[in-house]
């Protein structure tokens, strides 16, 4: 195992899509050398363009921005794997593809390198089953958009070596993110509590309530962004996949399936529930919010937060609340969903907590 007191210097990211490319850019912004791997140079190009935009925005100085961009090295062949301190897989959500990739990475990586997956939905035990040593695998689950979302879930599976969790957390803090240790379970913590909230919002749209009205109901509660706009931002295909993973028997919202079938996946395709052609959601007037709509939207999130706590997905109630605030944007002034429920007499923290 790598020395916790020795910061990582080289990160290798496999997958140059939105998540992988932005993880690579963020690591380079924080001063690390990054090798970014994908199948060909054409797949790498959009990631480098986004990175250049991020560096120009954050660093202001063209010379510093150029230096940051120079820290990202295109690596179609994957030569960086053997030199990296941290290896992050960020390819598409397909179990077989991830298993085959990790079988290869395991043979090339240094014995002390951190092997991490950015999966948002596949249990680590299934991915790790392909490894000769499944105990090496840990989850580093970043959130979209990476530059704005500070939380990273540190996911440990049944086989994960316990000492890897503080190692992964140390790396997360090194790149100025907030680590949240969670158990490997469907949806981990954040997607588990977020998906039912988003699905309920979309069912409201199916019933004829305007997306703008649904979003306004959540904003009135104190959410920084409405659930429909958030779903568009996350990606409607991702929302559907996570929803199916959490509740395979549930009927998916009708409008959601129609939009996906038409190739309208939200912000990344310029159209979802909203038109994103300008880079922002084009919204009409919200109108008046029906009585009870806010409570209807928030209730599924509150219920899942309690269930996650009862199942020990995280260590304590404070971490559930922190994950909800930093991962879902749950109204910060409430203190988080469990603190909010406790203030209403609907939740009693386990003995010894709070």
Only one residue has tokens 């690591």, namely 27
The CATH number of the structural domain formed by 190-219+226-289 is 1.10.1040.50
Which of 9-36 are b and which e, b meaning 16 or more Cβ less than 10 Å from the residue's Cβ? ebbbbbbbebbbbbbbbbbbbbebbbbb
**C-alpha dihedral, 345 to 350 to 353 to 354, nearest 10°:** 10
- Residue 158: CB atoms within 10 Å: 12
pLDDT score recorded for residue 351:
57
For residue 266, give every residue at least 6 positions away whose Cβ sits within 8 Å of its Cβ, in sequence order, or none.
231, 232, 233, 234, 235, 236, 272, 273, 276
* pLDDT band for position 93 (cuts 50, 70, 90): confident
Q: Does residue 11 carry a pLDDT above 80?
A: yes
pLDDT score recorded for residue 348:
76
Residue of 118, 121, 184, 191 with catalytic role: 191
Is residue 153 flagged as an active site residue?
A: yes
* pLDDT band for position 133 (cuts 50, 70, 90): very high
Between vectors from CA 39 to CA 34 and to CA 44, what angle results, nearest 5°? 50
Question: What six digits make up the tokens of 145?
Answer: 């958009």
pLDDT in tens, 136-156: 999 999 998 899 999 999 999
Q: Which of 194, 301, 187, 291 is nearest to 246 (CA)?
A: 187
pLDDT in tens, 106-115: 999 999 999 9
H-assigned helices in the chain = 18-29, 41-59, 62-70, 95-108, 124-128, 164-174, 190-206, 211-221, 227-234, 236-246, 254-261, 293-310, 317-328, 337-343
pLDDT in tens, 287-342: 999 999 999 999 999 999 999 999 999 999 999 999 999 999 999 999 999 999 99
Cα–Cα distance for residue pair 338/286, rounded to 1 Å? 29
Residue of 153, 212, 216, 304 with catalytic role: 153
Is residue 207 flagged as an active site residue?
A: no
pLDDT score recorded for residue 5:
64
Cα–Cα distance for residue pair 85/305, rounded to 1 Å? 34
pLDDT in tens, 259-295: 999 999 999 999 999 999 999 999 999 999 999 999 9
Domain 10-183 has CATH 3.40.50.10470: no
Q: Does residue 98 carry a pLDDT above 70?
A: yes
* pLDDT band for position 117 (cuts 50, 70, 90): very high
Residue of 118, 141, 229, 339 with catalytic role: 141
Which part of the chain has CATH 3.40.50.720? Answer: 10-183
What is the pTM for the complete model shown?
0.92
Mean pLDDT computed over every residue of the chain: 95
Alpha carbon separation from 105 to 7, 100, 116 (Å, rounded) = 21, 9, 10
Q: Does residue 4 carry a pLDDT above 70?
A: no
Q: Does residue 245 carry a pLDDT above 90?
A: no
Cα–Cα distance for residue pair 241/261, rounded to 1 Å? 14
* pLDDT band for position 121 (cuts 50, 70, 90): confident
Cα–Cα distance for residue pair 135/154, rounded to 1 Å? 14
pLDDT score recorded for residue 6:
84
Residue of 12, 89, 106, 120 with catalytic role: 120
Which part of the chain has CATH 1.10.1040.50? Answer: 190-219+226-289
Supply φ then ψ for residue 130, to 5 degrees.
-85, -10
Q: Which of 142, 139, 131 is nearest to 109 (CA)?
A: 131
Rg (CA), the chain: 20
Is residue 191 flagged as an active site residue?
A: yes
């Amino acid at each position: 195992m790598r020395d916790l007191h020795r910061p990582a210097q080289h990160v290798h990211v496999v997958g140059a899509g939105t998540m992988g490319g932005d993880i690579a850019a963020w690591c380079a912004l924080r001063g690390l050398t990054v090798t970014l791997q994908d199948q060909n140079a054409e797949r790498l190009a959009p990631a480098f363009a986004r990175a250049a935009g991020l560096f120009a925005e954050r660093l202001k100085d063209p010379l510093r921005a150029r230096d940051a961009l120079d820290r990202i090295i295109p690596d179609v062949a994957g030569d960086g794997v053997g030199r990296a301190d941290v290896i992050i897989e960020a390819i598409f959500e397909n179990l077989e593809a991830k298993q085959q990739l990790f079988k290869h990475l395991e043979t090339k990586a240094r014995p002390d390198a951190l092997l991490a997956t950015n999966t948002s939905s596949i249990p680590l035990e299934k991915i790790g089953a392909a490894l000769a040593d499944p105990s090496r695998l840990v989850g580093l689950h970043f959130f979209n958009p990476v530059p704005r979302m500070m939380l990273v879930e540190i996911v440990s599976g049944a086989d994960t070596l316990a000492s890897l969790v503080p190692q992964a957390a140390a790396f997360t803090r090194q790149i100025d993110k907030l680590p949240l240790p969670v158990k490997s379970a469907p949806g981990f913590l954040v997607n588990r509590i977020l998906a039912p909230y988003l699905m309920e919002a979309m069912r409201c749209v199916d019933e004829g309530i305007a997306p703008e009205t649904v979003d306004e109901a959540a904003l009135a509660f104190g959410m920084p962004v409405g659930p429909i706009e958030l779903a568009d931002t996350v990606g409607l295909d991702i929302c559907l996949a996570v929803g199916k993973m959490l509740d395979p028997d549930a009927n998916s919202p009708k409008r959601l399936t129609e939009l996906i079938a038409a190739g309208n996946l939200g912000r990344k395709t310029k159209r979802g529930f909203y038109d994103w052609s300008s880079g922002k959601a084009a919204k009409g007037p919200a109108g008046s919010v029906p009585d009870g709509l806010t409570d209807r939207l928030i209730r599924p999130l509150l219920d899942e937060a309690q269930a996650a706590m009862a199942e020990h997905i995280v260590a304590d109630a404070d971490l559930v609340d922190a994950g909800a605030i930093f991962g879902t944007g749950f109204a910060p002034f409430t203190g988080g969903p469990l603190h909010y429920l406790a203030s209403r007499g609907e939740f009693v923290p386990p003995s010894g907590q709070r």
